Chain A
Amino acid sequence: MAKIVQAKINGILVRVPSGTTILEAAKGVQIKIPTLCKHPDLPASAACGICIVKIKGSSKMLRACCTPVEEGMDVITHDPEIIEIRRTVIELILSNHPNDCLKCGRNNECELQKLTAEFGIKDESFPQFIRDLPIDTSTRAVDLDPKKCILCGRCVYACQEMQDVWALSFLERGIKTRISPAGDIQLADSPCVRCGQCSAHCPTGAFVEQDHTSQTWKALQDPEKYCVVQIAPAVRVSIGEAFGYKGKNLTKKLYAVLRRLGFNAVFDTSFAADVTIMEEASEFEERLLRGKNPLPLITTCCPSWVDFMEKFYPDMIEHFSSCKSPHEILGVLSKTYYAEKNKIDPAKIYMVSIMPCTSKKYEITRNDEMFASGFQDIDTVLCTRELARMIRQSGIDFDSIPDEECDSILGEYAGAGVIFGATGGVMEAALRTAHYFVTGKELKNVVFENVRGIKGIKETEVVIDGKKLKIAIAHGLSNVEYIIKKVQEAKKNNQELPYHFIEVMACPGGCVGGGGQPYMVTDELRIKRALALYQDDDDKQVRCSHQNPYIKRLYKEFLGKPLGEKSEKLLHTRYKARPIYAK
């Protein structure tokens, strides 16, 4: 138990556990200290200087975001002098920030813009100077406009500490300081895995997802195109945030909205997740019972994780499930199975994936297997934030639009498919089906509580058919090293394998915390989104992928059997070692 300290903020007595910052303590007594560089999800970097407060008896002003409350402290958060200094600092930041808000990807969602409005700043107090720095669009997922960067350091923290990727760092110093990959190379040539956590945490328009809404609009208006859309599990529980809902599952509202937007068929990635499980659980069964490939089996639903592994742990390739990510599976099935059954020319199908993810924008062309249908399996990826913009542009009244169902035959999903969006979800879904594949018996209780939750590394054991299976789950790429190192060690020393099955998701919280999700994510919000997914699973009659009647039908009518010839051709991919630095 932390010690309780007592202090005063604006004359109001506060009693908080020692270590609580002035910012948090003030919030507790309904005082909002303005911040800019501080993101509730990240530790304070203390860069901007907006949150300064006075401490009585000291001539210095301290940053509320990172200064812990001390016993007897007498804090003043607002007075004319403090407000004037804050205003000056904002004006300084504005003097080094382009004035093109109206044309910015973050217009109306920019934290600097909001703060400027709050302070009522209208004039240009200091002469403007903007360095002429080029926009880096090389990743095909997230664009970096260094001119708009206010050097809060959030993206650097996310990239280095949260994700352990180290694509981003500060270059140069003083007024020339800027964000860039080390060596001043392009992001695509850097270790960047396109997870988009930089863009999810950026306060301004310095990091914005590459916008693909206009090409989507164009396709929707093209009478020659047959537009098909799918929504990822994590999108249904986060899209509402753009319209005032938090942690609410809006699956059916989304189906309705997408249909109104003009899509000819509305599918659900959760269905494809069920397919993934059929394949992956079969792979696991093969490795476990027949030793065809080595254990542990590592999941590959996350393209950022795949990219990370190819760059940093190429020795793990043999452990990777060859199964494609669910949205790619749905893409290829749309342009083959669905097209055949409905007699649609696959060349006319325009496939859009709504994803919580920026990396999937890059994934759709990452190698030849992403063209397994004979066409590009996915034509466009939109992230949740882009969809929210499209809905606003469309004039659809999101609040009152009535629920609709999704389209057959690639829509109906089992509970297992939808929990893919939360960390541990793929593992849980796979275990449900693997149990059936290995034992031939259905589980009585399909919930694996130990694989759920926001803890960065989860290690647990499950028993299937008397066999103790060791499981590990990591989310947030900085948590990967611990697990992979253990596997590498064991392999090197010919020891017993530390794990049989490993799930990795690049983003903290899994896809619910994806880089393309609505802004201002925190663990609290990640948990809320995940709980909504688990509720969806709970409410489902069918909880296991192999029980999904549409899945059964798919294999019966089209694919044959998991890991069969057709499955291998359409649903599986290969990996190769890639250099960390492209050049």
Chain B
Amino acid sequence: MYNKVILIKDTDLKRQDKTRDFYTHLLDYLRENNLHSEILLVRVADIGVYDKGLVLKMLPDRNTYINVQDTDIKRIVDSILQGKIIEELVFRPKVKQHRIVLRNCGNIDPENIDEYIFSGGYAGLKKVLGELGQQKLIEEIKISGIRGRGGAGYPTWMKWNFAREVESDQKFVICNADEGDPGAYMDRSVLESDPHSVIEGLIIAAFAIGASKGYFYIRAEYPLAVERINKAIKQAYAYGLLGNNILGSSFNLDLEIRLGAGAFVCGEETALISSIEGKRGYPHPRPPYPSVKGLWGKPTVINNVETLANIPAIISKGGKWFAQIGTQTSKGTKVFAVTGKVKNSGLVEIAMGATLREIVMDICGGTLSGKPVKAVQTGGPSGGVIPESLLDTPVDYENLQKLGSIMGSGGMIVMDEDDCMVDIPKFYLGFCVEESCGKCSPCRIGGFQMLGYLKRISEGQGKPEDLAQMRRLSVAMQKASLCGLGQTASNPVVSTLKYFEPEYNEHILNKRCPAGKCSHLVTYSIVGDKCKRCGLCVINCPPKAISGDKEKGFSIAPEKCVKCGRCVDVCKFKAISKD
């Protein structure tokens, strides 16, 4: 039985794993000292810290040591045995994350219900069934001020209360685990690392409204999450936490998993309901809201994974405790999946009110390239692009909306100056156009037309009047689309038009892409005085667009060049210019 675990990861940027030697040395040391059956060494794929040399993470203490050398082996092992910390090696991000949702992630065995219970799990449910009752439970949630973490930020207690007040022979709860934003994996992480916290949250939600049946709607692309939730549900049944007479009370609840078949729009709650009902995943007009008329016409509460994972903590520690965290209007914490050009990408859980700059620069260490941050995109494909100048904005639902973005489910993508502000919205809008269900015309046709403008602009075919047309289109999409997908799909376009209009004009008027991203507008050429005439580019050019010889020098034939950038990558002398 191992008491201690050491996770090992080489985080250098060279993309070469140098942990093998260190692993061997450390293992040898442990064997020599007869500790190899006490301390387990694991080489892992990711620790969430980057560019810090060899990084170790100690479990269960969760200390992270950075820039570790072979010479540190002895003192590290000693410190573990003595229960001490080597201060000079410890990795301390500037701003402490505040972990509520991710409280158990990485700390407990997600497939072992006992570990969850040992860490305080299901105490909230016990409290709810034992002392609180429906009314006080909802009151507690109201005091906490928690709002839906799925994106729109609707107060959770209100959702529950509507559903509770409707009289019906049958009510449902659904956990929305159809996380589909590109680059977002908050929900996945919670489902995979702490499934019981979500199940507990869902049981409490069911009790709050008087539901006897619940569904986990999980996207099929998350097989491990499905497997873990499945196991966790079985364990919960075995422990009397699901089924009839839960924890000896008169409350009954059955849970079942439904797999999402890969349509992004099925994360929209009315489309999700259609999908569970076995119909085409088409959104429906609201009102009536699902809380009143949802699954099979019955009152249904749909909560996102992150919202539900918060619930047990709120119940255990009290709504007041939760309400102390965060801002005036947005309570608690928010998990972001920070990706893109950032140095330390990964899941970040911060108290609401932390600034974007704190997240990007302090927690995540700024850009990987060292180039300045140009903008941050929040809220997934339907979020907006926030320029660097506004990074000091404290994160909450209202502020992000004011900036033309949304909280969304918590995707956050960091961009540096190599990112083009025409190309970025083109990517996001392309995603929404692809994922549009096709039901309502503003989204179906509007998105497609809008994407056409972006494509033409990025290809140098843009016209000055296009920007006005795009603005007009975006209003129609925002106001006349049926569901959130269409209403927000134009956000990346609107926000980049707002903050980066000169970049659009550069594309349209001067047929230039300042970031060098839009391949149609980029010309590759060889800078004569930098070129050492090694000929490497000639060999590597796929369409054989580079000609010349070592005497006269080389040149690129623009009509043959496919702008793949291969020559830039192989040139050791930075002699290829992109303009």
Assess A151 versus B439: contact at CB under 8 Å? Given A52-B480, A173-B263: yes
Does the CB pair B438–A175 fall under 8 Å? yes
Q: Is the CB of A177 within 8 A of B284?
A: no
Known: A46-B284, A85-B480. A92 touches B449 (CB 8 A): yes
Known: A46-B285, A67-B285, A93-B441. A174 touches B482 (CB 8 A): no
Cα A93 to Cα B446 in complex, Å, equals 9
- Type the 1/0 row for B455-478, where 1 means its CB is closer than 8 Å to any CB of A: 000000000000001001101100
Q: List chain A residues, Cβ under 8 A from B544.
A: none
Closest B residue by C-beta to A52 = B480
Q: How far is the CB of B474 from chain A (nearest CB, A)?
A: 10
Is there an interface contact between A96 and B445, defined as CB atoms closer than 8 Å?
A: yes
Q: Is the Cβ of B482 less than 8 Å from the Cβ of A46?
A: yes
Minimum distance in angstroms from A405 CB to a CB of chain B? 51
Task: Tell me if A170 is interfacial: C-beta within 8 Å of chain B.
Answer: yes
Q: Are A46 and B440 in contact (CB under 8 A)?
A: yes
Q: Does A66 touch B at the CB level, under 8 Å?
A: yes
Query: At the interface with chain A, which of B237-245, B344-352, B429-437?
Result: B429-437
Q: Does A172 contact B (CB under 8 A)?
A: yes
B317 at the interface (CB under 8 A from A): no
For B447, list chain A residues within 8 Å (CB). 174-175
A47 CA / B486 CA spacing, docked (Å): 12
A127 touches B285 (CB 8 A): no
- Please tell me which one of the listed residues B436, B449, B476, B482 contacts residue A85 in the complex, with CB atoms under 8 A apart: B476
Taking CB atoms, residues of chain A closer than 8 Å to B472 are 84, 88
Q: Which of A47, A81, A129, A169 interacts with B441 by CB under 8 Å?
A: A47
Q: For the complex, what is the distance from the CA of A66 to the CA of B439, rounded to whole Å?
A: 15
Give the CA-CA distance A448 to B480 in the complex, in Å. 50
Which residue of the partner chain, among A89, A95, A174, contacts B438 with CB atoms under 8 Å?
A174
CA distance A125 to B450 in the complex (A): 12
- Please name the residue on chain B nearest to A70 by beta carbon: B287
Q: Shortest Cβ distance from B415 into chain A, in angstroms?
A: 26
Binary per-residue interface labels of chain B (277-311) against chain A in the complex, 1 for a CB within 8 Å, 0 otherwise: 00010101101000000000000000000000000
A88 touches B445 (CB 8 A): no
How many Å from the CB of A436 to the closest CB on chain B? 49
Contacts of A581 in B (CB 8 A): none
Q: Do A174 and B285 touch across chains, with their CB atoms under 8 A apart?
A: no
Contact B437 A89 (CB under 8 A): no
Asked if A174 and B280 make an inter-chain contact with CB atoms under 8 angstroms apart, the answer reads no
A273 to B436, CA, bound (A): 51
**Do B438 and A85 touch (CB < 8 A)?**
no
Interface status of B444 (Cβ within 8 A of chain A): yes
Give the residue of A45, A89, A95 whose beta carbon is less than 8 angstroms from that of B442: A89
B468 shortest CB reach to chain A, Å: 11
Find residues 32-50 in chain A having any chain B CB closer than 8 Å to their own CB.
44-50
Chain B nearest CB, measured from A255 CB (Å): 45
Query: Is B84 close to A, CB under 8 A?
Result: no
Could you tell me if A93 and B480 are in contact, using CB atoms closer than 8 angstroms? no
CB distance from B519 to the nearest CB of A (A): 22
User: In whole Å, how far is B500's beta carbon from the nearest beta carbon of chain A?
Assistant: 24
Inter-chain contacts of B104 with A (CB < 8 A): none
The 8 A CB mask of A200-226 against B (1 = contact, 0 = none) is 000000000000000000000000000
B480, A173: Cβ atoms closer than 8 Å: no
Q: Is the CB of B433 within 8 A of A89?
A: no
The reply to whether the CB of B452 lies closer than 8 angstroms to some CB of chain A is yes
**Cα distance, A86 to B442, chains bound together (Å):** 10
Q: CA A68 – CA B292 in complex, angstroms? A: 14
- CB–CB A174/B437 < 8 A: yes
A125 to chain B, nearest CB (A): 8
B263 pairs with A60, CB closer than 8 A: no
In Å, the complex CA distance between A338 and B437 comes to: 58
B285 close to A175 (CB less than 8 A):
no
Chain A residue contacts of B94, Cβ below 8 A: none
A153 at the interface (CB under 8 A from B): yes
Most buried by B among A63, A66, A89, A95: A89
Are the CB atoms of A170 and B438 closer together than 8 Å?
yes
Q: Is the pair A174, B441 in contact by a Cβ cutoff of 8 Å? A: no
Q: Which residue of chain A has its CB nearest to the CB of B435?
A: A174
Interface string of A132-170 (1 = CB under 8 A from B): 000000000000000000110100000000000000011
Q: In the bound complex, do residue A150 and residue B441 qualify as a contact, i.e. CB atoms below 8 Å apart?
A: yes
Is the C-beta of A126 less than 8 angstroms from some C-beta in chain B? Answer: yes
A61 within 8 A of B: yes
B481 contacts the other chain (CB 8 A): yes
Bound complex: CA of A218 vs CA of B313, how far in Å? 82
B residues less than 8 Å from A68 (CB atoms) = 287
Contact A89 B480 (CB under 8 A): yes
CB distance from A277 to the nearest CB of B (A): 43
- In the complex, how many residues of chain A place their beta carbon closer than 8 angstroms to a beta carbon of chain B? 39
B residues in contact with A467, CB < 8 Å: none
As a 0/1 sequence over residues 173 to 207 of chain B, the CB contacts with chain A under 8 angstroms (1 = contact) are 00000000000000000000000000000000000
Alpha-carbon separation in the docked complex, A151 to B439 (Å)? 7
- Complex CA distance for A67 and B288, rounded to whole angstroms: 8
> Which residues of B are found within 8 Å of A81, using beta-carbon distances?
475
Tell me, yes or no, whether B574 is within 8 Å of chain A by CB: no
Q: Are A174 and B444 in contact (CB under 8 A)?
A: yes
A127 CA / B456 CA spacing, docked (Å): 12
Is A49 within 8 A of B482, CB to CB? yes
A125 cross-chain contacts in B, Cβ below 8 A: 469
Is B222's CB within 8 Å of the partner chain A? no
Whether the pair A48, B479 counts as a contact (CB closer than 8 A) is no
A67 to chain B, nearest CB (A): 7
Asked if residues B445 and A173 are in contact (CB atoms below 8 Å), the reply is: no
B162 proximal to A (CB < 8 A): no
Centre residue among B263, B280, B282, B442 by max chain A CB count within 10 A:
B442
Chain A residue with the shortest CB-CB distance to B265: A173
Contact B445 A95 (CB under 8 A): yes
Task: Tell me, in angstroms, the Cα distance from A93 to B480 when the chains sit together.
Answer: 13
- Closest chain B residue, CB of each to CB of A156: B280
Cα-based distance from A349 to B392 in the complex (angstroms): 88
Distance of A248 from chain B, by nearest CB (Å): 37
Q: A58-88, CB under 8 A of B: which get 1 and which 0?
A: 0011010011100000000000010011101
**Complex Cα–Cα for A173 and B262 (A):** 12
Say yes or no for A176: interface residue by CB 8 A criterion. Answer: yes
Specify the chain A residue showing the minimal Cβ separation from B448. Answer: A175
Chain A proximity mask over B411-440: 1 for CB below 8 Å, otherwise 0:
000000000000000000000011111111
A153 to B441, CA, bound (A): 12
Neighbouring A residues of B445 by C-beta, 8 Å: 92-93, 95-96, 126, 175
Report the minimal beta-carbon distance from B216 to chain A, rounded to whole angstroms: 24
> B440 touching A48 by the CB < 8 A rule?
yes
Contact A151 B441, beta carbon cutoff 8 Å: yes
- Asked whether A151 lies within 8 Å of B284 as measured between CB atoms, the reply is no
**Chain A: which residue is nearest B474 at the CB level?**
A88
Q: Assuming the A-B contacts A46-B285, A150-B441, A170-B280, are A92 and B476 also in contact, with contact meaning beta carbons closer than 8 angstroms in the complex?
A: yes
Chain B residue at minimum C-beta to C-beta distance from A126: B449
- Residues of B within 8 Å of A172, CB to CB, are 438
CA distance in complex: A496, B436 (Å): 53
CB of B440 within 8 A of CB of A47, answer: yes
Closest Cβ of chain A to B447, distance in Å, is 8
Chain B residue nearest in CB terms to A176: B438
Report Cα–Cα, A258/B50, bound state, in Å. 87
A78-110 toward B: CB 8 Å interface, digit per residue (1/0)? Answer: 000100111011001101100000000000000
**Most chain A beta-carbon neighbours within 10 Å: one of B265, B440, B479:** B479
Task: Pick 30 A–B contacts, CB within 8 A, sort by A.
Answer: A46-B284, A46-B440, A46-B482, A47-B441, A47-B482, A49-B440, A81-B475, A84-B472, A85-B475, A86-B480, A88-B472, A88-B480, A92-B449, A92-B473, A125-B469, A126-B449, A151-B438, A151-B439, A151-B444, A170-B439, A172-B438, A173-B263, A174-B437, A174-B438, A175-B433, A175-B438, A175-B445, A175-B447, A176-B438, A177-B437
What 4 A-B pairs are tightest by C-beta distance, nearest first?
A177-B438, A49-B480, A88-B476, A92-B445
Known contacts A47-B439, A85-B475, A173-B435; 12 additional CB pairs below 8 A are A47-B441, A60-B479, A61-B479, A63-B285, A81-B475, A84-B475, A85-B476, A88-B480, A93-B445, A150-B441, A151-B438, A172-B438
